[in-house]
Amino acid sequence: MRRLSVTALILASLAVPVWAQQDFSAVEIETIQVSGNVYMLVGAGGNIGLSVGEDGAFVIDDQYAPLSDKIMAAIADLTDADVKFLVNTHYHGDHTGGNEAFGEAGALIFAHDNVRARMSTDQFRAIFDQSIPASPAGALPIVTFSDEMTFNWNGDAIRAIHVAPAHTDGDSILYFHDANVIHMGDTFFNGFYPFIDVGSGGDINGIIGAGYRALSIANEDTAIIPGHGPVSDAAGLAGWLDMLKITRGSMQSLIDGGMSEDEALAARPTAEFDEQYGGGFMKREHYTRLLYQSLSSN
Ligand SMILES: [Zn+2]
């Protein structure tokens, strides 16, 4: 009996998206040195980028609110300096949940204009039947930009570059020029199908475009931090983009042939990649449906 109930519990926990398994008490923050003074922090939610140096700490994304103390402790292990600047790559809660705590601790929060706009209002994610309430005022980005901006900070030039609608309509990628690191936000899920958040203006063509924008900046030594998954490089990103282009082409053929979304799902246009990329929280069905919706709305 006991063994059965444990099995049932495990099966139940596998049935929900990663971000709904919110046992944050068990989460530990892992710190990975990416290049020079640039680090990646991994806990639960999107990968955090961090630059430390004499000017202060510069943070990209901040996971979930219950993790803020642990994240701040991990940063304090690397530097005595305060977090001065925080940039959100996009509005999703697994990247912005710590905003209020970091803001109260003195960080100035930056993001694309649409991040503040979406965080200011209730959102609905149809693919997961999920309502997302507006964020409190203290969590909202203070400084917003429409195209790009540069932080001359810790001896580096850190560019925040807005890309055309991709994962959402408010994505930015961050490029550390001297450290030669790019943080992609959720325009790159390393090892998984992407989440094309079509309800938030996301677009598969934009995700592919963001990847090529990054590759136009990168060289073979560039470290590429994805929104989720391990650190990659230009070759790794290029391989993932190949998969996106092939599945996009397969889906476009089905749409051109007049298939409905359910018919396209049954036709399994992603079959050759499902084993390699379907193991994240974006399952085959999610990716296939969102790919259909994205290409149908063009
Ligand atoms: Zn996201």
How do residues 255-283 score in pLDDT, each as one tens digit?
Answer: 999 999 999 999 999 999 999 999 988 99
Q: Please report, as a single letter, which amino acid is at residue 36.
A: G
Q: From the CA of 1, how far away is ligand 1's center (Å)?
A: 39
Q: From the CA of 206, how far away is ligand 1's center (Å)?
A: 14
Mean pLDDT of the chain: 93
pLDDT digit string, tens, across residues 203-246: 999 999 999 999 999 999 999 999 999 999 999 999 999 999 99
Q: From the CA of 3, how far away is ligand 1's center (Å)?
A: 36
User: Do the Cβ atoms of 153 and 107 come closer than 8 Å?
Assistant: no
User: Do the Cβ atoms of 69 and 47 come closer than 8 Å?
Assistant: no
Distance separating alpha carbons of residues 14 and 273, to the nearest angstrom: 20
- Range with the poorest average pLDDT among 21-30, 136-145, 157-166: 21-30
Phi-psi region of 166 (alpha: psi -120 to 50; beta: other; left: phi over 0): alpha
Q: From the CA of 84, how far away is ligand 1's center (Å)?
A: 23
Question: What is the per-residue pLDDT for 19?
Answer: 47
Write the CB contacts of 17 (distance below 8 Å, at least 6 apart in sequence): 128, 281
**What is the helix, strand, coil percentage profile of the chain, to 5?**
40, 20, 35
Indicate if the pLDDT at residue 122 is higher than 50.
yes
Q: Which residues have their alpha-adjacent CB atom under 5 A from ion ligand 1?
A: 92, 186
Q: From the CA of 233, how far away is ligand 1's center (Å)?
A: 20
Percent of the chain beyond pLDDT 90?
A: 89
The stretch 74-95 carries a mean pLDDT of: 97
Indicate if the pLDDT at residue 298 is higher than 80.
no
CA dihedral 167, 187, 113, 157 (to 10 degrees): 180
Q: From the CA of 92, how far away is ligand 1's center (Å)?
A: 5
Distance separating alpha carbons of residues 173 and 216, to the nearest angstrom: 13
Max alpha carbon distance in the chain (Å)?
61
The stretch 69-74 carries a mean pLDDT of: 98
The stretch 68-91 carries a mean pLDDT of: 97
Q: Tokens for 94, please give them.
A: 């697994």
